[in-house]
Chain A
Amino acid sequence: MRPWAVLIFCASLFMGCANTALVRYEKIAKKAGSQNYLDAAGMIRKHADALYGSRSDLLYNMDLGLLYHYAGRYDSSTIFLGRAADKYDALYTRSISNEAASLVVNDNTRPYRSRPYEMMWLRVIQAFNYLALGRPDDARVEMRQGQILLDALHGTAGKGSNAYREDPLYRGTAALVYDLLGERDDAAISVYFAVKAHRDDHTAVPPMIGRLACRLLRAADRRDDIRLLELDCPSTLSGKRAVDSAEAATASTETGDVVVVGMLGRSPAIGETSFQGTWIRDGLLVYSYRDANTGKVVTDALPAPGLPVSESKKAGQGGRTRSGTTLSLKWAMPALREVPTQSRVLKVAGPAVVTGEAWGDTHDLLERDLAENWNSVLVRTVIRVGLRTLATEKAKSEMRTDNPLLNLITNVGVDFLSGQLEQADARSWFLLPRTVQFARLTLPVGRQTLQIGAENESGGTVLAETREIEVRAGQTSFVFFNSLK
Chain B
Amino acid sequence: MNRMFFRATGLALATLMLAGCGGTKVSRVTHDSVIDLSGRWNDTDSRLVAEEILRDCLNSSWYNTYTAQGQIPTVIVGEVRNRSHEHIDAETFIKDMERTLINSGKVDFVANKTERDQLREEKADQATNSSVETRNQAGEESGAKLMLIGTINSIVDREGGKSVVFYQVNLELVQIDSNRKLWIGDKKIKKYVTKSSSSL
Contact = CB atoms under 8 A, between A and B. Distances in A.
Do A and B share a complex? Answer: yes
B191 interface: no
B187 interface: no
A95 B158 contact: no
Contacts of A145: 85
B83 interface: yes
A314 interface: no
Interface in B71-106: 81-87
Contacts of A3: 2, 6
A93 B87 contact: no
Interface string B107-150: 00000000000000000000000000000000000000000000
Interface string B1-38: 01000100100100010000000000000000000001
Contacts of B156: 148
A141 B90 CA distance: 13
Contacts of B9: 7
Nearest to A101: B16
Interface in A128-144: 137-138, 140-141, 144
A471 to B, nearest CB: 25
Contact of B85 (A89, A95, A97, A148): A148
Nearest to A78: B87
A148 B156 CA distance: 8
Nearest to A126: B87
Interface in B36-93: 38, 81-87
A145 B87 CA distance: 10
A143 to B, nearest CB: 9
B85 A141 contact: yes
Contacts of A304: none
Interface string B178-200: 00000000000000000111111
B22 to A, nearest CB: 13
Contacts of B85: 141, 144-145, 148
Counting contact residues on chain B (CB < 8 A from A), the size range is: 20 to 34
Contact of B84 (A82, A96, A144): A144
A96 B197 contact: no
Given A3-B6, A148-B158, A141 B84 contact: yes
Contact of B195 (A7, A92, A97, A148): A92
Given A7-B9, A138-B87, A141-B84, A151 B198 contact: no
A454 B128 CA distance: 55
A208 to B, nearest CB: 26
Given A3-B6, A148-B158, A151-B158, A93 B195 contact: yes
A97 B2 contact: no
Interface residues of A, number: 20
A485 B160 CA distance: 40
B84 A94 contact: no
A97 B82 contact: no
Contacts of A94: 197-199
Chain A CB within 10 Å — which of B81, B82, B87 has the most? B87
A97 B16 contact: yes
A141 B82 contact: yes
Q: Is the interface of A mostly helix, strand, loop or mixed?
A: helix
A297 interface: no
Interface string A73-117: 000000000100000010011111100000000000000000000
Interface string B154-193: 1010111100000000000000000000000000000000
A140 B199 contact: no
Given A3-B2, A138-B87, A145-B85, A95 B160 contact: no
A96 B200 contact: yes
A152 interface: yes
A141 B197 contact: no
Contact of A93 (B84, B158, B199): B199
Contact of B200 (A89, A92, A95, A151): A95
Interface in A291-328: none
A155 interface: yes
B199 A155 contact: no
A126 to B, nearest CB: 10
A113 to B, nearest CB: 13
B82 A95 contact: no
27 contacts: A3-B6, A7-B9, A89-B38, A92-B161, A92-B195, A93-B161, A93-B195, A93-B198, A94-B198, A94-B199, A95-B198, A95-B199, A96-B198, A96-B199, A96-B200, A97-B12, A137-B82, A141-B82, A141-B84, A141-B85, A141-B87, A144-B85, A144-B154, A145-B85, A148-B158, A155-B159, A155-B160
Interface of B: 2, 6, 9, 12, 16, 38, 81-87, 154, 156, 158-161, 195-200
Given A82-B87, A92-B161, A96-B200, 4 more contacts: A93-B198, A93-B199, A94-B199, A97-B200
Q: Which 6 residue pairs are nearest across A and B when measured between Cβ atoms? A: A144-B85, A3-B6, A92-B195, A94-B198, A93-B199, A93-B196
